Chains A and B, each alone.
Chain A
């Protein structure tokens, strides 16, 4: 492994060891909770659409809403300050604070983390205390948050007890979560009572009323805003929404998305200055009602790159984010290593790349942006339907063009007819051009497989290109699916066919997993579909370069793929796809890569193979022609992108209909995620992400089924027994032509 890769691998290894368990338990718990609480929500999809529409409208009309908000805040007697950048915001807050005193209490706010407000205030001699219990733990431990919702979720209660006992030396020492909570509450109350100014963030700000909406469970935001007589709220400009009534979908969605709680304990809707009398502990014996309220309120809206993000086609959606953390909780890699591995100055996890690219710049975003494998499991988790994988792809593309050391490019030169300028990292270049590699591999198999499997070659691949030596490499087949079909032809005459379909010979099915391609042809033919596998359609979908952030190359391939499929569509054929990630490209990413009409045409006529079988059976095809299950128990892992598209259900339905007793996997992603698990520096992480699969399926001896090529590879590595694509199980007679 190269030094840079080794450093990365070491950091991941250390985080897996130290924070992995606590992060895994918490994020997976939140994620399960999200499924449970949203399952109960009849209007879930409609609420997400409503939430998204409100944010789309708000960001569109942002300048106008800020002016409306200004009027509302000022007519209430408060002040609105729009800060251009971090320095501007910090200076404003410092001036307000130092005029009033030198003790500040804060409730959790990622925006102030972004500004590094605490450091700034402390530099001006102000004593700052975080009142969110998790943030307070981090303040004592002097650590950065690892999760936007649970900043300290990487810490176990044992480690917090150790920290408190060492730091405060309480007698008797603290141990249980209840003791720790009570201790923190009492300590923090003293700070709140003594504070001159309370600083909060804002989850939403309503332009019509000047209301600050804060979502909390502990109640610390309420105390922070209500006890001191000066309240400063700091929020990004993107938090402004038009009206109070617009809060409804967000209040329904935020707790469920964040921690799987049906609802959080408190939604504070403060329209400052609030009527409640300040709790003036410096005059502890005067009735509060008699203390004349002299409340002051400042709302600081921070731009810090957001206006530019609004103008940026790829980053704009980031501004719809309500910071619920669902994207992090649903992310296989995040579940294993947590936010400290994702890097970034402030934000971590799924959407962090968008935030970091927008507010900190590309360097910060580039750091660990690789950890997004594009599995897309965050997409249905996001309450505002942000296409987070696309943001990661777009940023990766920018990073590709901004750096990359270019050394050892010669190794993959010639295998890489891409559209990318020089300097792209060799591993990216190799995986992004997998199509060419596969063609070469098939042509020279079995020699190519032998060379690729030899120790010197594996060493060189690890050292220079970053292909993990532990991984079994795909074995290229000399006789491709297209070759096979060309000599065999179709077994269903046009006049006997109920439908005609082209089986898309994706790079893997054509060169590596040829058997599943043959099985797919046989299954479809058994159901009276006339299948063709034309050589000219054997082109990459663009998936491989896309996953490396090589957007131009991906676009060129998408166009080529469209051109290859067009005559088939003109002939009235359906397109049947075996590899789920290719179907995901057709159905999701082509929207970004092709003109709208072309996208609709290709995506509208393409089907995942078992989705297609499901449709045929529903329409009266004879299931008796397929291989029946006779109650055979099978373990099935759906491909991540297939699940995002909702296609796993079709596979399960077909298997059950044919009499298989199916156990489906509970994990979001197998961890292999296309090329990710092949990379030397990510091998260990990839295997760790797969661990829940091993736990679920490892003990039994059932047949293992998986829809994606990389899932098959990963399951075989994890379980040490063979795995197959479900279509191979259904194929009627494998001895036939």
Chain B
């Protein structure tokens, strides 16, 4: 991914009230740990998550969670948007119910535009997949002024995982679905 695209992603994500944390593959665990306000739920196949994240929550646990951790499969630099795909493990509610959403994203998965992202999503959606294009936290202006955190999270943290020689072996084909396990 070009530096320009990454810079644009960072700038636009921050502009839309998300916080971007850069990290190396080997530091994902500690970075995520530092962002979590327990109790936490989450789904991050392929990543070694810190202890204390419930990966198969009950509805009660989901409702009570303060943080949800998921993986974004693609991101759009033009808008700082994360593409969150749905899966049987419950990534979708984990990214929506808790007040803080922590999304893990590989720099390799950042594409420049909405059209690029739809180019990737088109074939997957035609196969039956679903996805959310999420930009920043949930927001509403219905109560008279802009309030962050309506039905969805009030804060979004992006853990941007930089390239690394080791990670290159198993990743980088640009075609990982949300649940792929070999990253």
Where the two chains meet, the residues of A that have a C-beta atom closer than 8 Å to any C-beta of B are 72, 76, 131-134, 137, 150, 152, 155-158, 160, 177-178, 180-182, 184-185, 188-189, 193, 206, 208-209, 211, 217-220, 222-223, 226-227, 243-245, 247-248, 251-252, 259, 262-272, 274-277, 279-281, 283-290, 293
B139–A265 CB distance below 8 A: yes
Task: Tell me, rounded to whole Å, the shortest Cβ–Cβ distance linking A265 to chain B.
Answer: 5
Please tell me which stretch of B23-31, B86-94, B102-110 contacts chain A, meaning at least 4 of its Cβ atoms lie within 8 angstroms of it: B86-94
Closest B residue by C-beta to A280: B59
Interface core residue of A150, A160, A177, A275 (most chain B CB under 10 Å): A275
Cβ–Cβ < 8 Å partners of A244 in chain B = 118, 121-122, 125-126
Q: Is B147 part of the contact surface with A, judged by Cβ < 8 Å?
A: yes
**B16, B86, B121 — most chain A CB neighbours (10 Å):** B86
Beta-carbon nearest neighbor of B79 in chain A: A263
Within 8 A of A (CB), among B41-71: 56-60, 62-63
B114 touches A134 (CB 8 A): no
Of chain B, the residue at the smallest CB distance from A269 is B131
A217-B139, A222-B132, A248-B114 known; 4 new pairs, CB 8 Å cut-off, are A156-B144, A217-B150, A219-B138, A266-B134
Report how far A283 CA is from B61 CA in the complex, Å. 12
Q: Is the CB of B142 within 8 A of A152?
A: yes
In the complex, are the beta carbons of A270 and B140 less than 8 A apart?
no
Knowing A265-B139, A271-B128 are in contact, say whether A287-B91 is a contact too (CB < 8 A): no
Question: Which of B89, B113, B121, B150 touches A133 (beta carbons < 8 Å)?
Answer: B150
B115 interface residue per 8 A CB criterion: yes
Q: Are B79 and A262 in contact (CB under 8 A)?
A: yes
Quick one: which of A178, A272, A287 contacts B130, CB cutoff 8 A?
A: A272
| Residue B155 is within 8 A (CB to CB) of chain A in the complex | no
- Measured in the bound complex, the distance between the Cα atoms of B122 and A243 in whole Å is 8
- Which residues of B have CB within 8 Å of A193? 59, 63
* Residue in B81, B132, B134, B136 whose Cβ sees the most chain A Cβ within 10 Å: B132
In order of increasing CB-CB distance, the 5 nearest A-B pairs are: A157-B144, A219-B152, A218-B150, A134-B142, A219-B151
B48 to chain A, nearest CB (A): 20
Q: Which of A157, A158, A287 contacts B56 (CB 8 A)?
A: A287
12 contacts between A and B (CB under 8 A): A133-B150, A185-B149, A209-B125, A218-B151, A251-B114, A263-B81, A265-B138, A265-B139, A266-B135, A275-B86, A276-B93, A281-B59
Residue from A155, A220, A247, A275 within 8 A of B151 (CB atoms): A220
Residue of A nearest to B138 (CB): A219
- Closest B residue to A281 using CB positions: B59
Determine the distance from Cα of A280 to Cα of B132 in the docked complex, in whole angstroms: 21
> Is the pair A262, B16 in contact by a Cβ cutoff of 8 Å?
yes
- Minimum CB–CB distance from A299 to chain B (whole Å) comes to 14
Interface size on B, residues (CB 8 A): 53
Given contacts A133-B150, A219-B150, A285-B58, contact A276 B143 (CB under 8 A): no
A226 CA / B81 CA spacing, docked (Å): 21
B96 touches A222 (CB 8 A): yes
| A residues near B143, Cβ cutoff 8 Å | 133, 157, 160, 177-178, 180-181, 184
Please measure, in the bound complex, the distance between the C-alpha atom of A279 and the C-alpha atom of B65, giving whole angstroms.
Answer: 14
**Quick one: which of A180, A206, A252, A267 contacts B132, CB cutoff 8 A?**
A267
What is the CB-to-nearest-CB distance from B51 to chain A, in angstroms, rounded to a whole number? 18
Using a CB–CB distance below 8 Å, which chain B residues touch chain A?
A: 15-16, 56-60, 62-63, 79, 81, 86-93, 96, 113-115, 118-119, 121-122, 125-126, 128-145, 147, 149-153
B59 contacts across to A, CB distance below 8 A: 193, 279-281, 283-286, 288
Decide if B122 touches A288 in the complex (CB within 8 Å): no
Interface-centre pick from B60, B149, B151 (highest chain A CB count, 10 A): B151
**A-chain residues with CB within 8 Å of residue B153 when the two chains form the complex:** 219
Asked if A284 meets B142 with Cβ closer than 8 Å, knowing A265-B137, A271-B125, the reply is no
Chain A residue at smallest Cβ distance from B156: A265
State how many angstroms separate the Cβ of A663 from the closest Cβ of chain B: 30
A29, closest chain B residue (CB)? B141
Pick the contact of A150 from B90, B130, B139, B142 — CB < 8 Å?
B142
Query: Which of B140, B142, B147, B152 is packed against the most chain A CB atoms within 10 Å?
Result: B142
Q: How far is the CA of A434 from the CA of B142 in the complex (A)?
A: 45
Residue of A245, A251, A271 touching B133 (CB-CB under 8 A): A251
Determine whether the beta carbon of A289 is less than 8 Å from that of B56: yes
Closest Cβ of chain A to B17, distance in Å, is 9
In the bound complex, residues from chain A placing their C-beta under 8 Å from that of B134 are 265-266
Contact B150 A275, beta carbon cutoff 8 Å: no
CA distance A226 to B93 in the complex (A): 8
Q: Chain A CB within 10 Å — which of B79, B125, B147 has the most?
A: B125
Is the CB–CB distance between B90 and A177 below 8 Å?
no
| A188 contact set on B, CB distance < 8 A | 151
Interfacial chain A residues near B142, Cβ < 8 Å: 132-134, 137, 150, 152, 181, 218
Q: Which of A133, A211, A268, A269 contacts B140 (CB 8 A)?
A: A133
Are A245 and B151 in contact, with the CB atoms below 8 A? no
B-side contacts of A222, CB under 8 Å: 92, 96, 132, 151-152
* C-alpha spacing A133/B142, complex, angstroms: 6
Please report the C-alpha to C-alpha distance between residue A243 and residue B150 in the assembled complex, in whole angstroms.
31
For the complex formed, measure the closest distance between the CB of A173 and the CB atoms of chain B, giving whole angstroms. 15
**Cβ–Cβ < 8 Å partners of A185 in chain B:** 149-151
Q: How far is the CA of A218 from the CA of B145 in the complex (A)?
A: 13
Q: A288 touching B56 by the CB < 8 A rule? A: yes
| Alpha-carbon distance A248/B120, docked complex (angstroms) | 12
| A226-B96, A270-B130, A290-B56 as given contacts; A181 in contact with B62, CB under 8 Å | no
Task: Tell me the minimal C-beta distance from A54 to chain B in angstroms.
Answer: 13
Residues of B within 8 Å of A206, CB to CB, are 125
Given contacts A218-B138, A276-B88, A288-B59, contact A208 B16 (CB under 8 A): no
Find chain B residues with CB under 8 A from A272 CB: 130
Which residues of the partner chain A approach B147 to less than 8 Å between Cβ atoms?
Answer: 177-178, 181
- B138:A284 contact, CB within 8 angstroms: no
* The one of A156, A218, A271 that contacts B129, using a Cβ cutoff of 8 Å: A271
The complex places the Cα of A266 from the Cα of B119 at a distance, in Å, of 18
Closest to A107 in B: B151
Closest residue of chain A to B86 (Cβ to Cβ) is: A276
Chain A residues with Cβ below 8 Å from B126 are 72, 208-209, 244
Assess whether A274 is in contact with B92, with CB atoms less than 8 Å apart.
Answer: yes
- Pick from A137, A189, A259, A279: contact of B93, CB under 8 Å: A279
Contact B121 A277 (CB under 8 A): no
Q: How far is the CB of A201 from chain B (nearest CB, A)?
A: 16
Q: What residues on A are CB-neighbors of B140 within 8 Å?
A: 133-134, 181, 217-218
With a cutoff of 8 Å between Cβ atoms, the chain B residues found around residue A248 in the complex are 113-115, 118
The answer to whether B132 touches A268, judged by C-beta atoms less than 8 angstroms apart, is: yes
Give the complex CA separation of A378 and B18 in angstroms: 33
- Least Cβ–Cβ distance between A730 and chain B, in angstroms: 44
Most B Cβ at <10 Å: residue of A131, A209, A270, A290? A209
Q: How far is the CA of A702 from the CA of B151 in the complex (A)?
A: 51
Residues on B with beta carbons closer than 8 Å to the beta carbon of A219: 96, 138, 150-153
Q: How far is B181's CA from A358's CA once the two chains are assembled, in angstroms? A: 52
A289 engages B89 (CB within 8 Å): yes
**A280: which B residues are within 8 A, CB to CB?**
59
Q: How far is the CA of A188 from the CA of B142 in the complex (A)?
A: 15
Contact of B135 among A155, A211, A263, A274 (CB under 8 A): A263
Interchain nearest-CB distance for B55 vs A (Å) = 8
Roughly how many angstroms separate A386 CA and B127 CA in the complex, as a whole number? 34
Complex Cα–Cα for A220 and B96 (A): 10
**A276 pairs with B122, CB closer than 8 A:** no
A274: chain B residues at CB < 8 Å are 86, 92, 130
- Tell me, rounded to whole Å, the shortest Cβ–Cβ distance linking A248 to chain B: 4
Per a CB cutoff under 8 Å, which of B63, B89, B122, B132 touches A266?
A: B132
Is A277 a contact partner of B88 (Cβ separation < 8 A)? yes
